[in-house]
Amino acid sequence: MKKFSTAALIPALATSFALLFAPSVLAAGKGKCEFLQNAPDKHPVVKGDTLWSISGKFLEHPWCWPQVWGMNKAQIRNPHWIYPGQIVYLDRAAGRLRLGTPAGSGASGEPKDVRLSPRIRTSQLDKDAVPSIPAKEIEPFLSQPLIVDEKDLNGAPRIVATQEGRVYTGKGDRVYVRGDLGGHEVFQVFRPGVPLKDPGSKQILGYEAVHLGTIKLAREAKANDEAHAFAVTEALQEMGIGDRLQPMPPAETINYVPHPPENAFEARVVSIYGGVTHAGQNQTVAINKGKRDDIDVGTVLTLYRTGETIADRTDKNHKVRLPDEKYGTLFVFRVFDNVSYALIMEVTDSVQVGDTARTPE
């Protein structure tokens, strides 16, 4: 999975912004990144905006905004930042969007482009920056829940005893763990959940684990037959003997840049988080493709409902399959080996398990 460090230096971002203002003429034709006919001349950036929502005011396909910001292929996986108080202008002649400030208007009335001087990014800058997609919708999924395959499940450290023999434990309690910690100190505690099966092959792709909480190493075992002692730091559900451990994943930057797969691609929805049968906008689904299929964070896919096969009422000896209907968009934000989590960005129908997701046309 591609990861972006929140400790990066501003010079790298300054390079990205220099690319934002390079001329970028859009190709015409079906399936290209085209402006809406009624696109506004400008949009003041406000708190709560996302790059997706801003781009949706100007573009027919919001996911293709990196093209109109002048980002080249080498830069497309690097995030750039926009902040409330700035203004996005539509340069119709050049076929691009550019960033300016209200106070930067000169005598000609044209906005001055924003220039960044080299400086360290601060946590306040990160906090105020406009994210690519709704941050609150995906933040819980960046650390929990998680997907584990059978090998990882069988080899995971596990709770073998609890403080004073309690059946279940909560925050502040002590638990005892057996297994290889791999040098890690902070772990998620999970309980194996329902297996995720490929809709076509029926092969088990992994297990969507039930996230129970977090524990931190208090005392490492001194001998092979001794258990590690852990303190429970967060308890979302009760933990008990037999529950498994997985190292806490590193913090993720959530300002991902959308991009379609480089080649023709097809995936299937294997589950809707929460065990429901239908999902709508801003809900999370799992698809049957992951790192092994070259899916990475920021991948955008178009949702299709598979057409039914029906009897041809004009010719009773034949059947005919109706065409697949396009009805929405997925944005991949977390990737495992065989499975990925994707946020439903916009849909005109409910998402169902088994639906197809393909490279945008």
The answer to whether residues 16 and 128 belong to one domain is: yes
Query: What pLDDT shows up at residue 72?
Result: 56
Same domain for 242 and 181: yes
Half-sphere exposure of 305 (CA within 13 A, CB side): 12
Q: Let me know whether 198 and 310 are in one domain.
A: no
d(CA 157, CA 244): 6
* Same domain, yes or no: 154 and 118: no
Do 186 and 116 share a domain, yes or no? no
Residue 336 is part of which domain span?
266-358
| pLDDT value at residue 71 | 59
Together in a domain, 86 and 159: no
Give the residues across from 207 on adjacent strands: 148, 195
Residues with Cβ within 8 Å of 168's Cβ and at least 6 positions away in sequence, in order, are 162, 238, 239, 240
Same domain, 188 and 203: yes
Is residue 15 located within the same domain as residue 100?
yes
Scanning the structure block, which residue is given the tokens 């506004």? 40
Residues 130 and 34 in one domain: yes
pLDDT of the residue at 183: 93
Residue 31 CB contacts under 8 Å (≥ 6 apart), including other chains: 360, 361
- CATH number reported for the structural domain that contains residue 331 in this entry: 2.40.10.410
- Let me know whether 109 and 152 are in one domain: no
Q: Are residues 209 and 278 in the same domain?
A: no
Q: What is the pLDDT of residues 249-303, one digit of tens each?
A: 766 555 577 888 888 889 999 988 777 778 888 889 999 999 989 898 889 999 9
Q: What stretches in the chain show pLDDT beneath 70?
A: 1-32, 70-81, 101-127, 139-140, 142-145, 250-255
Six-digit token pair at 37? 């006919």
Q: What is the pTM of this model?
A: 0.69
> What pLDDT sits at residue 18?
33
Q: Which of 140, 175, 203 is the last residue of a domain?
A: 140
Burial class of 223 by CB neighbour count within 10 A (0 to 12, 13 to 18, 19+): exposed
Number of domains in the chain: 3
Which pLDDT score is estimated for 106? 42
The answer to whether position 252 is within a domain reads no
